[in-house]
Structures are given as structure tokens and as C-alpha cells.
Chains A and B, each alone.
Chain A
Amino acid sequence: MTEVSVAEEDKAATGELVVLKSVNKHFGALHVLQDIDLTIARGEVVVVIGPSGSGKSTLCRTVNRLETIDSGTISIDGRPLPQEGKELARLRADVGMVFQSFNLFAHKTVLENVMLGQVKVRKADKKQAEDKARALLDRVGVGAQADKYPAQLSGGQQQRVAIARALAMDPKVMLFDEPTSALDPEMINEVLEVMQQLARDGMTMIVVTHEMGFARSAANRVVFMADGRIVEQAAPDQFFSSPRSDRAKDFLSKILHH
């Protein structure tokens, strides 16, 4: 047993967790992802940034195969994404996803939202699932809301519950698709703080966001997308202070003026 875990840790230390190789995808005539090559190491935090419609959400969603791809390969922890079915479901359980619109289960309480995946997918014991759910809710600061329904919570609280729901599956990687874009300004920080803590704890994260403060403080790398391509990638400081491509310069000048 110890030998196995040592071997796994070795793999972990050198691990490439998410690998996309020449990924292409079309929506009808629209070539939304064009020859995407992207490798994310274990423990790495990557921020994806770019103009609206450039394919950031689509990229995010292909990683857990909510969107299928036309060509190329995507693998997670060394295993290529399987076809739709039981095996894909198992793999999806290892990939946490946080949506712009929270998507908490509206007919379940906050506690049930965080327990459901553990019980139905991981087949965890109910009591253990509840304990873990309560601990996670405390960790993201909404422990007192456990018995409420999602609609009774503020946006910021809902998004923190959504993060707890994803964390309850012990994911290998977390995907965030503009997690703060639907929030009122005063609630953005409470969500970003949870994400920052997660990054410090060593979670592998792919984050689509325009929050440059978060990118600067938490990201190891910024990936800039435009028109379905990765145009540029660099360390956050380097990217924000001296972008190389004209597209990135143009984009940054626009969002910095706001």
C-alpha cells in the first residue's frame, strides 16, 4: 500500500493533470475552438481570459465533456475522456464545475445539494456525507444556511454553496466559468476569497474570469483566447504589464478603462 502511494505521489509530482491536444470544435459553421493545445499541471491555477464569444466557456465545458469535440484529444490524469456513459460519469465526478449561474438544485436544500453527489455518485454513507457537507459549508462560510433552499440565498452565498457542492466530490481539478459575472459587486469578493483559499490549498484550477485581481494574486498562468484560438499565455504579471500580441493589448486596454 505504501509503495503504491509513493508511486502515485511520484506521478503527482511530475503530473500533467489536464492535457488538450489539437482540439477542434465547430458549432455549425462557427469554428469555435481551433487547434487548442493546453497542458495544466497538478496544482496549477490557470486563468483563461479573452473577449466575449472567443470560446472560453466552450473550452471549459469540453474538459468535462459537457461539449463534445470534433477532433483532437483531451485527457485527465492520463486517461482520455471516454464516450458518454457510465465511465464518463465516473470521470466527471473527478472534475468539479462551477457555473456562472450557480445551477444549484432548486428543489433541494443547501445541505442536500452538497450531499447528493456523495451519496448517489460516490455511494457514501449518509451520515458521513452529511458531516462532510456541513464541514464544507462551514469552510465556504455558509454553514448557517444549510437547511434553506437555494432561492432563499444571495448570489454570493449560492455560488459558495456551488463550490462546496463541487468540492464534496474530492475533485482532481476544478473548472470555473465566470463564477463572479452574475454577482452584484459587493458579493464578488466573498466568492473570490474562497477561490483564493482553494488555490493556496493546492487545488488544480481552470478559471475563466475577468477579475484581474484574482489572476494576479492566485494564478500561475494566464491564457489569452481570441476567436477560438489561444493567442498568448504568460505569467500574470508579465501578461498584464507587457502583453505581446496586439489582440491582448487591445483587449486589456478595453477592460482597464472600465
Chain B
Amino acid sequence: MNVLLDHFADFREGFVGTVLLTLASGLLAMVLGVVIAGFRVSPVPPLRAFGTAWVTLFRNTPLTLLFLIAWFVVPVIFAPGMSPWTKALLALSFYTSAFVCEAVRSGITTVPLGQAEAARSLGMTFSQTLRLIVLPQATRTVVAPLSSIFIALTKNSAIAGAFSVTELFGWQKTLSDQGYAIAWIFLWVALGYLVITFSISGLFQLLERRLGVAR
């Protein structure tokens, strides 16, 4: 019981670390995912090919492998001196963006083709059609899968702890090394994650209800 009270500052730091990492990678994954989904449905073949390659690469690579690449390959080839937090952010958000992209793309396919055709016949460009007509109508079907994707992201962020980024899961390792009872530590860590994931699903349920009455 007193493991939490004795080390509350560390626990809080880990909790905040997880929340921040999840938020930041969630945001970046969202932006990347929507843009890549746009690429995948665009009329420009090179963009489509890029989108397909991105999704294939990041959806089919184990996340741990992406972390290893971010830690040991990226610094050597591209950007030396990147902080561990940035590396974790990139690995998590690139990985998650592939899933966001596919959720958004399947949402796009639920919007009747006639909507985009009407927009194009008015003289809207491809990006206007996507932004103003198709994506807003895809939102409702995308919300539910996005909720699962972000919950998965929260849990996936634990991998960053193994790579010495300060976050909730890493707290467990530090303290069990100090000899505290492991069951209690795990309980507190699990509760920490539950708070985050419950907040996410609550938020998305609210969003879903909002979008439900909008029309």
C-alpha cells in the first residue's frame, strides 16, 4: 500500500509522462493518418503509392522493432542527438498513423460517391472535396475505431518505458528493483493506465453522441 505514498512523486511523473507521450503521439498520428489517407484516395498515382507503402511498412512492423530502429538506426543515418522522448514519439506516432489512416480511409468509403462527384462538379479541388465534403461525413464512422486505436496507443506507450523514457510502466521497473512487493506496484500501474484509457473511451463516446445528434 505504501509503495504509492512513498513514491508518489515518481508515480505522478510517470503518469504525466504517459499522458503526455500518448497525447503528443496521438495528435501527430492523427494528422499523419488523415494526410496519408488523403494520399491513398488521391488521383495522383505517386501519392497513392507513397500512402500504400507507408501503411504497409508501419502496420506490419512490430512496434518494438520500430523502437529499436528509432534508437539505433535513425540516429546513425538521419538525425543524431535526438532525445529519447522524441524517438519514442516518432516510433509511436508513425506506427499508430498507419492504423489511423486505414480507419479514416474505411470511413471515407462509407460516404456515397455522389457526394464527392457533386463537389467536383461544382469546381472544388480534390483537397476541398476531401476537407469540406467527404471527411466531415466520414467522421461519425471513424470515431469508434479511433477510440480503440488510441487506447492501444496508450498501452503501446509502455514500450517507451523499456527504452528509459519516463512513463508509467517504467516506474514499476525502478521500484521492483528496490524490493517493493510487485503485486501492489502492478495494481497501481494498471489503475494509472485504466484512468487514461477510460478517459479516452469516455471522451470518444461523448464525441460519438454529439455527432449522432448533429444530423
Contacts and interface: CB of A to CB of B under 8 A. Distances in A.
B124 interface: yes
A88 to B, nearest CB: 9
Interface in B112-171: 112, 114-115, 117-126, 128, 132-133, 136-137
A121 B118 contact: no
A120 interface: yes
Interface string A79-108: 000001010011111111101010111110
A42 interface: no
B215 interface: yes
A182 B117 CA distance: 18
Contact of B123 (A66, A93, A151): A93
Interface size class of B (residues with CB under 8 A): 20 to 34
A151 B114 CA distance: 15
A106 B111 CA distance: 10
Nearest to B119: A105
Contacts of A86: 125
Contact of A151 (B118, B128, B132, B215): B215
A104 B136 CA distance: 14
Interface string B87-109: 00000000000000000000000
A121 B123 CA distance: 6
Contacts of A169: 122-123
B122 A84 contact: no
A117 B136 contact: no
Contact of B215 (A66, A93, A103, A106): A106
B151 to A, nearest CB: 27
A63 to B, nearest CB: 10
Contacts, number: 67
A149 interface: yes
A103 B43 contact: no
Nearest to B128: A120
B122 A121 contact: yes
Q: Max chain B CB contacts within 10 Å: which of A84, A94, A105, A107? A: A107
A87 B39 CA distance: 20
Contact of A89 (B117, B123, B214): B123
Given A66-B117, A103-B115, A120-B132, A165 B215 contact: no
Contacts of A94: 123
Contacts of B121: 64, 66, 92, 95-97, 166
A106 B137 contact: yes
A135 to B, nearest CB: 18
5 contacts: A84-B43, A89-B123, A92-B123, A101-B114, A105-B118
Nearest first, the 7 A-B pairs at minimum CB distance are A93-B123, A103-B114, A117-B122, A103-B118, A97-B121, A121-B123, A92-B123
Given A93-B122, A103-B117, 17 more contacts: A84-B43, A89-B124, A89-B125, A92-B120, A92-B121, A92-B122, A95-B121, A103-B118, A105-B115, A105-B118, A106-B137, A107-B214, A107-B215, A116-B132, A117-B123, A165-B122, A169-B123
